[in-house]
Amino acid sequence: MIAVITADLVNSSHYTKDLLSKVLSTLKEEFKEMNLIYGSGLKFKIYRGDSFQGIVRTPEKSLEISLILKTAINAVRDKEKSRGKAFVKQADLKIAIGIGDYEFERPSIAESNGQAFQFSGRSLDEIKNESRTIVLKTPQENLNAEFYASFLLLDMLMDKWSIASAEVIYHLLKGLKEQEIAEKLHISQSAVNQRKKAAGWDAVSVLLQRYEQVITKSLEQ
């Protein structure tokens, strides 16, 4: 069993050339870093200039990886567009996680196929015209049912995140402590703590733990 993450940039046709360039550079940098953290089995590919797909051989980490990518993109800003609205998100992702079999493996992701690819691709298509930005599909309906409501609530939280919130959540997902984040962002630790609370980090971290536990247990059955 593997996880496949398929994602589209939200309203990318409205991005400035500078913003799109920064977003794509950020994604490429994250993919490289993730290979070091999660192992060489992790494989991502950007296509069409505004979408990407990735194979995650540790499905229990697929939500964590998705949120790292999402917050990394949420934190990207175009200086020209930032004037007067420094905290408004300028870039975002719609993400579909599919967990299932990997039936047909080829060196190219685009040529690979299987249950996980189908779940991920179809689920992303289903939310393209909806407000939802993250969904999960697995072969087990009990898992789909459990995380359907959780992901709806997660979406509500993420919809309220500003660039400032996304920066803090991103570094928390990477395992940094409040003081370390404060030093990176050149703000006070109390400001980090305030942003962390406003973004609902406690709820997000509980969901990540639950997701990892449940997916790990399901893979053992």
pLDDT at 121: 92
What does the pLDDT look like over 41-72, one tens digit per residue? 788 999 888 999 999 999 999 999 999 999 99
34 in a domain, yes or no? yes
Phi, psi of 121 (to 5 degrees): -65, -45
Question: Which of helix, strand or coil describes residue 56?
Answer: strand
62 in a domain, yes or no? yes
pLDDT at 109: 57
Q: What is the pTM of this model?
A: 0.92
Whether residue 40 has pLDDT greater than 70: no
pLDDT at 218: 87
Phi, psi of 172 (to 5 degrees): -65, -40
Whether residue 81 has pLDDT greater than 90: no
Question: Which of helix, strand or coil describes residue 177?
Answer: coil
Total domains in the fold of the chain: 1
183 in a domain, yes or no? no
Tell me, what CATH number does 56's domain have? 3.30.70.270
Mean pLDDT score of the chain, rounded to an integer?
A: 90
187 in a domain, yes or no? no
pLDDT at 37: 87
Whether residue 106 has pLDDT greater than 80: no
Whether residue 94 has pLDDT greater than 90: yes
Percentage of the chain lying above the pLDDT 70 cut: 90
What residues make up the domain containing 73? 2-159
- Residue by residue, DSSP assigns 6-20 as EEEETTGGGS-HHHH
